[in-house]
Copies of this chain bind each other. A is one copy, B any other.
Amino acid sequence: MRSVLTDLALERHQMTPEAQREGVRVHTERNGLVERTTVSIETERAAQTMQRPCGQYVTLSFEQAPQLDLELREALQQELASVLAQLIPREGGVLVVGLGNRRVTADALGPRVADATFVTRHLKRHLPPSLAGRVRSVCAAAPGVLGITGMETAEVVRGIVRHVQPTAVIAVDALAARDSARICSTIQIADTGIAPGSGVGNHRQGLTREALGVPVIAVGVPMVVYAATIARDAFSYLVQDSDPNDGEPIGEQAIDALIERVVTQRLGDLVVTPREVDALIDHMAGIVASGINRALHPQLDASEIELLMS
């Protein structure tokens, strides 16, 4: 199963054979409705195996529900805010970048979050004294995608960073998962930024500390899976489940090749999203934006932010 496509470090880790997991540390804890798993990739070798740069990848997992109840929503926002608060420098301006194409609903998480970010950079001088000390300088951009702008996203962001000079960037993006059950039931926060070639929109150049000169925190939510992966996974579960007494065990390598051929021929590179994607994006963008707003303005409460933004 070489070519499984996922943007989640947790899934990559689960796919890695025990023997090759050296250099990766995993820690899981549960806070009520939300499970928080931290995957730390600590060596260059582990980075290669995992196909992800060294760093910390925090995954918040929860029961996916078309109707995210209020309690879960609240728990998620708090948990996300708490993870972000640990990764972002305490002081200085922050730039929130919403990656993706707002015209493609499944890829619109980033732009939607950027729109719902409480931006303050332009207000700072005009804020009433009651707020001034409690508000951090925040700006937001949704630079669009290569096919619409003709420009690499990373290049546009670099230009903005040079101008705004934030102390950190939060880059929000829709992700591809391997397991369809992860769609909208996982939020991944990584201190590595966005690697080249990842994300639904497949950003060809990365948004990383190296590229931008400041820490880049990536926040992503799986919105799509490859149809080929659905097929491959179903098959691998089948092999795991099958009773060896049903017949000769199936030669794994022969099968692998077969699957590759069949799946590729039949499904191509079809990428799919749940039929309910419109409502799912609404929910998740609201949660992610609220988590970011809380992390950046810990001294404002949620209703103050809602009021200031309306």
Q: How far is the CA of A273 from the CA of B107 in the complex (A)?
A: 13
Q: Does A130 interact with chain B (Cβ within 8 Å)?
A: no
Could you tell me which residues of chain A, from 58 to 117, have a CB within 8 Å of some CB in chain B? 66-70, 103-107, 114-115
Assess whether A180 is in contact with B267, with CB atoms less than 8 Å apart: yes
| Assembled-state Cα–Cα distance A148/B289 (Å) | 13
Query: Copies of this chain, how many?
Result: 4
B310→A67 contact, CB < 8 A: yes
Check A211 for interface membership: any CB of B closer than 8 A. Answer: no
Chain B: which residue is nearest A163 at the CB level?
B159
* B277 & A274 in contact (Cβ 8 Å cutoff): no
Contact code string A237-261 (vs B, CB < 8 Å = 1, else 0)? 1100110001111110011001101
Choose one: B67, B139, B146, B258; the contact of A242 (CB below 8 Å).
B258
- Quick one: which of B137, B234, B255 contacts A262, CB cutoff 8 A? B234
Determine if A1 is an interface residue (Cβ-Cβ < 8 Å): no
What size tier do the contact residues of chain A reach? Answer: 35 or more
CB-defined contacts of A279 to chain B, threshold 8 Å: 103-104
Q: Is A141 an interface residue (CB 8 A)?
A: yes
Tell me the minimal C-beta distance from A5 to chain B in angstroms: 13
The answer, among B105, B122, B144, B155, for a CB contact under 8 Å with A163, is B155
Docked Cα-Cα span, A138 to B123, in Å, equals 34
Q: Is the CB of A262 within 8 A of B275?
A: no
A306 interface residue per 8 A CB criterion: yes
Q: Output the least CB separation between A149 and chain B (Å).
A: 5
**B246 in contact with A247 (CB, 8 Å):** no
* Contact yes or no, B230 A267, CB < 8 A: yes
Cα–Cα distance between A283 and B181 once the two chains are bound (Å): 30
Other contacts beyond A225-B272, A237-B262: 13, CB < 8 A: A68-B310, A104-B279, A119-B148, A122-B146, A137-B150, A138-B150, A142-B144, A227-B272, A230-B267, A234-B262, A246-B254, A271-B275, A272-B273
